[in-house]
């Protein structure tokens, strides 16, 4: 990244405050490295963790017991232990103390627990007997009820079709991060803006907001293209989701993972269609928007450009059938075992017990999950976004989910109530 003088950065700060284009996304910092979910868990010595200042959490917690958790005896444990092992990999990473990333569970509290997880795994493997696994969790973790009822929604990883080269129906580019995109951490100039960043680019001796979607499309020097998709609406919704799998025309699949964005505000194309009188707002599903686009091909660009925001991606190989995209915690999500949370209330890396219901149903959905992601719409104490997995079936479940929920944070016995760094 180009280094800017303090005066240039200050100018960008002023510009950003005028345009209100700020972000605290952590996803852009997730490293694009191979992640082996099945490698032996390595737990560093407790003395290796640097002391960093505690982060204040807004949640209120009340101690509970495992028998208070509805449906715990019915949790079948599928993928629970492998998700726990990999959650420990995240917990055992160093904490920088930076306020620009979401609050994380305090690693010192978790080091003894993860050490015991590693030892248990050496004896029992990735799929231990259900009773032994549940006994281990009950002996090592204390449930803390998160005060207040919340809401559970769902999200998923779409599977789309495309090609590495442009041609035929594959006309919709998915861009990598442009070389001229600047991301500025405002805390370097104004500490009171810790956690806020702005995106821009240099024009002459000025820093200006980065290009909108329409401006990027009109540029002669467009960003590098990772893949060309065959449907504009699916390409748009992949950007909204932030990651997805692309089934290439050569039979291979790749993952497009969130890398960065242009800093422009998001605008709903569904609401635009409703405001234009093209579709009732209640009927602006992806399927109906796709049908409208097919009937109005001359207006597709007009519709898409209403949303100035543009997400940039990086390519990742798909190496493990259960490994989803990396969430904000930098750990591959596991379908129906991971959730997005508000880290002001629940620090990332926390195991949770979730008591909710299946989408559009009263059937109980009660199980251990892990806080490994965040989302701009996920705000509040017991607010969770449940990761359903990949593909159309997962998307159908995610799209219908809006359920009441209760949440318990599971914290190591003897370490007090949940806390963060």
Domain of residue 403: give its range.
Answer: 56-178+217-260+309-421
Instruction: Determine the pLDDT at residue 183.
Output: 86
Contact 236, 293 (CB under 8 A): no
Report CA 308 to chain centroid distance, whole Å: 21
Whether 286 is in a domain gets the answer no
Instruction: Determine the pLDDT at residue 242.
Output: 84
Whether 32 is in a domain gets the answer no
Whether 13 is in a domain gets the answer no
Contact 374, 143 (CB under 8 A): no
Q: How far apart are CA 308 and CA 96, in angstroms?
A: 33
Q: Among the residues of 276-376, which ranges form H helices?
A: 286-295, 300-305
Q: How far apart are CA 75 and CA 63, in angstroms?
A: 21
Among 176, 182, 403, 204, residue whose Cα is nearest residue 310: 176
Whether 242 is in a domain gets the answer yes
23 has a pLDDT exceeding 50: no
Q: Could you read off the pLDDT of 312-342 as tens digits, one per residue?
A: 999 988 878 889 999 999 999 999 999 999 9
- DSSP 8-state assignment for residue 292: H
Instruction: Determine the pLDDT at residue 10.
Output: 36
Beta bridge partners of 104: 348
Whether 125 is in a domain gets the answer yes
Instruction: Determine the pLDDT at residue 26.
Output: 31
22 has a pLDDT exceeding 50: no
- Tokens 């559009």 belong to 360
Q: Could you read off the pLDDT of 204-257 as tens digits, one per residue?
A: 999 999 999 999 999 999 999 999 999 999 999 898 888 899 999 999 999 999
Whether 203 is in a domain gets the answer no
Q: Could you read off the pLDDT of 96-109 as tens digits, one per residue?
A: 777 778 999 999 99
Q: How far apart are CA 37 and CA 371, in angstroms?
A: 17
Q: How far apart are CA 295 and CA 290, in angstroms?
A: 9
6 has a pLDDT exceeding 80: no
Q: Among the residues of 264-329, which ranges form H helices?
A: 269-275, 286-295, 300-305
What CA–CA distances, in Å, run from 401 to 22, 97, 327, 346, 356? 29, 35, 20, 21, 10
Report CA 143 to chain centroid distance, whole Å: 24
Which residues, other chains included, contact 254 with Cβ-Cβ below 8 Å and sequence gap of 6+?
226, 227, 245, 246, 248, 315, 316, 317, 318
For the segment 38-43, the average pLDDT, to the nearest whole number, is 94
Contact 88, 370 (CB under 8 A): no
pLDDT confidence band for 194 (50 / 70 / 90): low
Give the chain's mean pLDDT: 88
Q: Which helix (H) or strand (E) holds 201?
A: strand 197-203
Whether 43 is in a domain gets the answer no
- DSSP 8-state assignment for residue 340: E
Give me the percent of the chain exceeding a pLDDT of 90: 76
Instruction: Determine the pLDDT at residue 126.
Output: 92
Which residues, other chains included, contact 242 with Cβ-Cβ below 8 Å and sequence gap of 6+?
27, 258, 311, 325
Contact 310, 176 (CB under 8 A): no
Q: How far apart are CA 72 and CA 301, in angstroms?
A: 49
14 has a pLDDT exceeding 70: no
Structure token pair of residue 54: 């505690």
Whether 86 is in a domain gets the answer yes
Length of the chain in residues, anyone?
A: 421
pTM: 0.79
Structure token pair of residue 296: 């109005």
Query: Looking at residue 346, which CATH number applies to its domain?
Result: 2.40.40.10
pLDDT confidence band for 286 (50 / 70 / 90): confident
Q: What are phi and psi of 283, to 5 degrees?
A: -110, 20
- Tokens 């993952």 belong to 255
Q: Among the residues of 129-254, which ranges form H helices?
A: 130-140, 213-218, 232-241
- Look at the chain and report how many structural domains it folds into: 1
Among 16, 27, 10, residue whose Cα is nearest residue 263: 16
Q: How far apart are CA 383 and CA 378, in angstroms?
A: 6
Structure token pair of residue 136: 């281990």
């Amino acid at each position: 990244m180009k280094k800017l003088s303090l005066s240039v950065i200050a100018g960008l700060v002023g510009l950003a405050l005028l345009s209100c284009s700020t972000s605290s996304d952590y996803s852009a910092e997730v490293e694009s490295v191979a992640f082996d979910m099945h490698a032996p868990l390595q737990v560093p010595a407790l003395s290796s963790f640097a002391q960093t200042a505690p982060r204040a959490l807004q949640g209120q917690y009340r101690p509970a017991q495992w028998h208070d958790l509805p449906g715990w005896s019915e949790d079948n444990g599928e993928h629970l232990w492998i998700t726990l092992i990999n959650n420990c990999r995240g917990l055992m990473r160093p904490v920088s103390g930076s306020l620009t990333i979401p609050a994380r569970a305090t690693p010192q509290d978790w080091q003894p627990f993860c050490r015991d997880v590693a030892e248990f795994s050496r004896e029992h493997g990735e799929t231990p007997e259900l009773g032994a696994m549940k006994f281990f969790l009950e002996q090592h973790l204390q449930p803390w009820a998160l005060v207040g009822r919340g809401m559970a929604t769902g999200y998923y990883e779409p599977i789309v079709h495309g090609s590495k080269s442009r041609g035929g129906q594959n006309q919709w580019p998915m861009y990598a991060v442009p070389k001229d995109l600047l991301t500025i951490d405002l805390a370097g100039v104004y500490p009171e803006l810790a956690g806020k960043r702005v995106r821009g680019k240099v024009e002459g001796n000025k820093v200006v907001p980065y290009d909108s979607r329409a401006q990027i499309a009109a540029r002669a020097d467009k960003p590098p293209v990772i893949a060309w998709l065959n449907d504009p609406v699916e390409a748009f919704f992949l950007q909204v989701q932030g990651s997805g799998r692309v089934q290439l025309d050569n039979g291979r699949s790749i993952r497009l993972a969130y890398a960065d964005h242009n800093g422009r505000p998001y605008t709903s194309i569904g609401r635009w269609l409703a405001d234009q009188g093209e579709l009732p707002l209640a009927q602006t599903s992806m399927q109906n928007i796709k049908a409208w686009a097919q009937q109005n091909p001359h207006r597709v660009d007009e519709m898409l450009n209403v949303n100035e925001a543009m997400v940039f991606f990086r390519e990742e190989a798909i190496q493990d059938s259960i490994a989803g995209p990396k969430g904000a915690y930098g750990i591959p999500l596991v379908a129906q075992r991971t959730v997005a949370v508000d880290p002001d209330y629940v620090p990332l890396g926390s195991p949770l017990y979730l008591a909710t219901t299946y989408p559009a149903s009263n059937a109980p959905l009660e199980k251990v999950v892990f806080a490994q992601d965040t989302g701009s719409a996920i705000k509040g104490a017991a607010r969770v976004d449940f990761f359903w997995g990949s593909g159309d079936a997962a998307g159908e479940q995610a799209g219908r989910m809006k359920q009441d929920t209760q949440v318990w944070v599971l914290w190591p016995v003897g370490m007090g109530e949940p806390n963060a760094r």
